[in-house]
Structure 1
Amino acid sequence: MADVLSLSQIRKSYNVGTPVETEILHGIDLTLAAGEFVALMGPSGSGKSTLLNIIGLLDQPTSGTVSINGHNTAGLPDSEVTALRGHAIGFVFQYHYLISAFTAAENVMMPRLVDHGRRTDAMQDVAYGLLADVDLTRWRDNRANNMSGGQQQRVAIARALAMNPSLVLADEPTGNLDSVSADSVFDLMRRINKERSTTFLIVTHNLELAQRCDRILDVVDGRISGQEAGASGPAAG
C-alpha cells in the first residue's frame, strides 16, 4: 500500500527572485503511513504552519514533490488538486469554524453537500453515523451555538471525517479547550485513528499530548526531525 503522505525535498521560499527572497523550508522529506498518529511540534516561526499548508494542498512548494495516496500533485490542474484535497484530507482547526445557525448534523453534512451540490438522505445518514461515533447523537439537532466548546470541536472532527479521508490534519485542535475537554477530544481522535486506520497529523504545543502519539516530528528553522513518542507510548484506544 502506498504511503498516505510522501514529501520529497520540499522547499518553500517567499519573495522569489527579489533581493529579499527568503527560504522558509529547507528540503524536507517526510512519509506518513496509513494509521499513523503523529505530532508536529515547533516554535513560532519555525515553518510548521507553512509545512501544514503544503501538506494540506492549500499552498504549493517552491520545489519538491507532494504525494497523497500515491498521487503526485505536482503539475495537477487546480480542479484536480481541489478534488484530491476535498476527498483525501480532513481538517480540524484550533477554532471549530462551525456555522453557528446550523445544527450539528447540518455542519457535518457540509463537505458532502459542497461535493454533491444537493442534500440527500444518504448524506444525512452519514452525518448521523459520524455524530454517533463522536458521542453526540443526543445533540445532532442542536444548533452549533448551543453546544459547549468541547462538543463543537467534536462536531468539527465529525465534519473532517465526512468524506472518509485517509489523512486528517489537526492544527492545535485542543488549543481553545480546558484540560478536561482537551483530553477528551484527544482521546476521541486517537480512538477514530485506531478504529478507522485514519492517519492523523496533529500540530500541538502540548508536549504531554504529543508524547501520547506514535511519534513526534520537530520543525526547527525550516528543517524536520523525528523521534519516537515518550515512554508512555501511544495512548490506549
Structure 2
Amino acid sequence: MADVLVLDQIRKSYNVGTPVEVEVLHGIDLAIRPGEFVALMGPSGSGKSTLLNIIGLLDRPASGRLLINGEDTTDLPDAALTKLRGHTIGFVFQYHYLISAFTAAENVMMPMLVDRGHPDRQMEERAAELLDRVGLGKWRDNRATNMSGGQQQRVAVARALAMDPTLVLADEPTGNLDTASANAVFELMRQINRERSTTFLIVTHNMDLARQCDRIVEVVDGRITPARQPPG
C-alpha cells in the first residue's frame, strides 16, 4: 500500500527574485504511512505553518515532489489540486471556524455541499452519522453559538471527516480549549484513527499530547530533525 503522504526534497522560498529572498524550507523529506497518528512540532518560525500549507495543497513548493496516496501533485493544475484536496484531506484548525448561523448538522454538511453543489438526503444522513460518532447526535439541530468550545471543536472534527478523507491535518486543534476539553477532543481523534485507520498529522505545542502519538516529527529552522519516538 502506498504511503498516504510523501515529501521529497520540498523547498519553499518567499520574496523570490528580490534582494530579500529567503528560503524557509530546506529540502524536507517525510513519509507518513496509512493509519499513522503523527505529531508535528517545532518552535515558532520554524516553518511548520508553511509546511502544513504545502501538505494541505494550499500552497505549492518552490521545488521537490509531494505525493498524496501515490499521486504526484507537482504538475497538477489548480482545479485538480482543489478536487484532490477536497476528497482526500480533512482540516481541523485551532479555531473551529463554524458558521455561527448554521446548525451543527449544517456545518458538517458544508464540505459535501461544496463538492456536490446542492443538499440531499445522503448528506443529511452522513452529517447525522458523524455527529453521533463524535457524541453530539442530540445537538445536531443546535446552532454553533449555542455550543461550548469543546462541542464546537467536536463539530469541526466531524466536518473534517465528512468526505471520508485519507489524511486529516489538525493545526493546534486543542489550543483554544481547557485541559479537559482538549484531552477529550484529542482522544476523539485518536479513537477515530484507531477505528477507521484515518491518518492524522497534528501540529501541537503540547508535549503531553505529542507523547501519545505514534511518532513525533520536529521541524527546526526549516529542516526536519532526526525522528523521535514518543517515550513509553
Q: In structure 2, how many angstroms separate the alpha carbons of the residues matched to 1:154 and 1:15?
A: 38
Per-residue deviation, 1:132: 0.7
Runs of 4+, deviation exceeding 6 Å: none
Residue equivalent to 1:139: 139
Residue equivalent to 2:28: 28
Residue equivalent to 2:230: 229
Q: In structure 1, how many angstroms separate the alpha carbons of the residues matched to 2:70 and 2:83?
A: 15
Residue equivalent to 2:194: 194
Structure 1 letter corresponding to 2:202: I
1:144-201 deviation digits (Å, cap 9, x = unpaired): 1000000000000000000000000000000000000000000000000011100000
Per-residue deviation, 1:119: 0.4
5 Å-filtered alignment, 1:60-71, equals 60-71=60-71
Q: What is the DSSP-based 3-state SS (H/G/I as helix, E as strand, rest coil) of the residue aligned with 2:228?
A: strand
TM-score by length of 2: 0.99
Q: In structure 1, how many angstroms separate the alpha carbons of the residues matched to 2:231 and 2:49?
A: 24
Q: In structure 2, how many angstroms separate the alpha carbons of the residues matched to 1:15 and 1:106?
A: 40
1:159 aligns with 2:159: yes
TM-score by length of 1: 0.97
Q: In structure 2, how many angstroms separate the alpha carbons of the residues matched to 1:14 and 1:166?
A: 30
Residue equivalent to 1:234: none
Residue equivalent to 2:15: 15
1:184-220 deviation digits (Å, cap 9, x = unpaired): 0000000000111000000000000000000001100
Q: What is the DSSP-based 3-state SS (H/G/I as helix, E as strand, rest coil) of the residue aligned with 1:57?
A: coil
Q: What is the DSSP-based 3-state SS (H/G/I as helix, E as strand, rest coil) of the residue aligned with 1:30?
A: strand
Per-residue deviation, 1:49: 0.4
5 Å-filtered alignment, 1:72-87, equals 72-87=72-87
Residue equivalent to 1:149: 149
Per-residue deviation, 1:137: 0.5
1:213 aligns with 2:174: no
Q: In structure 2, how many angstroms separate the alpha carbons of the residues matched to 1:27 and 1:180?
A: 38
How many correspondences in the alignment? 231
Q: What is the DSSP-based 3-state SS (H/G/I as helix, E as strand, rest coil) of the residue aligned with 1:75?
A: coil
Q: In structure 1, how many angstroms separate the alpha carbons of the residues matched to 2:33 and 2:214?
A: 11
Gaps of 5+ in 1: 232-237
1:71-116 deviation digits (Å, cap 9, x = unpaired): 1001111110000000000000000000011000000000000100
1:28-58 deviation digits (Å, cap 9, x = unpaired): 0001111000000000000000000000000
Per-residue deviation, 1:17: 1.6
Q: In structure 2, how many angstroms separate the alpha carbons of the residues matched to 1:194 and 1:18?
A: 47
Structure 2 letter corresponding to 1:84: L
Residue equivalent to 2:96: 96
Gaps of 5+ in 2: none
What percent identity do the matched residue pairs reach?
73
